Chains A and B, each alone.
Chain A
């Protein structure tokens, strides 16, 4: 598992969300940590898989189980 930062803000008067990188000149309004599972794995919560997770209020990353990606492609 690793954490990357998502940067939100304005660049050339356009609001944008930049995941894992911050473009030069971005007027940052918010920074959010995003959790990514290890290669070949996904997070699972309540039966749904997540390729990345933003924790909501009251949540812990421990609420998500990191498991091998299911082979949905047969």
Chain B
């Protein structure tokens, strides 16, 4: 062992430590030397953001105020679940319930929710209820086969519009039950990709989806008129007041 090789080893260790800090959302110093390492590590414990979701521990678990009171968590303003292609049953139920700080939610890679069985599904059950949502984004979500996958998921939020761009199949019973209930700002919902074989053997996927909502317009592909146009939940405006249902989107398969 030489002095030079020992210095190289220590330098590598410091560099590795900074790499680990960065992955855990630490505040990275301009000069990454041994003198700044302790402060960098401490920034993880005092509000560093998760490299996966951009969320801080304080926002998720609640901060502790000057009087030692653990506060209700606010949630992170902008949640982006990059890389999440599936969600396990119950994984997000109530996870952000009444986290008033959550404003936008995006699952850019989520393709399906497809857990079948009597004790399965419920992936987003009450997940974002009563949040101050301004947008939700599920751009590649194609299949919802799970029961109650989105039940009350966005209820009571301030969401103004929502479009499920790629959603072709909703075969899980009660999948969107009460999903947007009491969203008093909601004016438009769109399901442009739903197909005529989207629903399997159930007709209750949209029960009460808009209860407590007034004046919302829901858009479907034109070919779905003959499929869901006579469903009770659709005829009843999804439980909302003065709901309009239009089959005005381009026909799908």
Rounded to whole angstroms, the CA-CA distance of A48 and B174 in the bound complex is 10
CB distance from A47 to the nearest CB of B (A): 11
A9-45 vs B, CB cutoff 8 Å, 1 = contact: the mask equals: 0000011111111000000000010100000000000
Interface assignment of A49: CB less than 8 Å from any CB of chain B: yes
Stretch at the interface among B11-19, B186-194, B237-245: B237-245
How far apart sit A49 and B236, CA to CA, in the bound complex (Å)? 14
Chain A contacts for B245, CB-based, 8 A = 16-19
| A interface residues, how many (CB within 8 angstroms) | 22
**Is there a chain B Cβ closer than 8 Å to A67's Cβ?**
no
Interface string of B207-233 (1 = CB under 8 A from A): 110011000000000100100010010
Q: How far is the CA of A24 from the CA of B117 in the complex (A)?
A: 47
Q: Is the interface of A mostly helix, strand, loop or mixed?
A: strand
State which of B129, B236, B247 has its C-beta within 8 Å of the C-beta of A54: B236
B48 contacts the other chain (Cβ, under 8 Å)?
Answer: no
- The secondary structure that dominates the B interface is loop
Which of A21, A49, A51 gathers most chain B CB within 10 Å? A51
With A16-B246, A17-B229 in contact, is A52–B239 under 8 Å at CB? yes
User: B65 to nearest A CB, angstroms?
Assistant: 23
A30 to chain B, nearest CB (A): 9
Given contacts A14-B248, A16-B247, A17-B245, whether A54 and B237 have CB atoms under 8 Å apart is: no
In the bound complex, do residue B235 and residue A6 qualify as a contact, i.e. CB atoms below 8 Å apart? yes
Q: Is A56 interfacial (CB 8 A cutoff)?
A: yes
Given known pairs A6-B235, A53-B232, A73-B156, the reply for A16 and B130 (CB within 8 Å) is no
In the complex, the answer to whether A20 meets B208 with C-beta atoms within 8 Å is no
A56 to B212, CA, bound (A): 23
Q: How far is the CA of A34 from the CA of B234 in the complex (A)?
A: 11
| A57–chain B nearest beta-carbon distance, Å | 12
Q: Could you list which residues of chain A lie within 8 angstroms of chain B, going by C-beta atoms?
A: 6, 8, 14-21, 32, 34, 48-54, 56, 72-73
Given A21-B242, A51-B236, output 18 extra A-B contacts at Cβ < 8 Å.
A8-B235, A14-B222, A15-B222, A15-B225, A16-B245, A16-B248, A17-B229, A17-B235, A17-B243, A18-B244, A19-B242, A20-B241, A49-B208, A50-B208, A51-B240, A54-B235, A56-B232, A73-B156
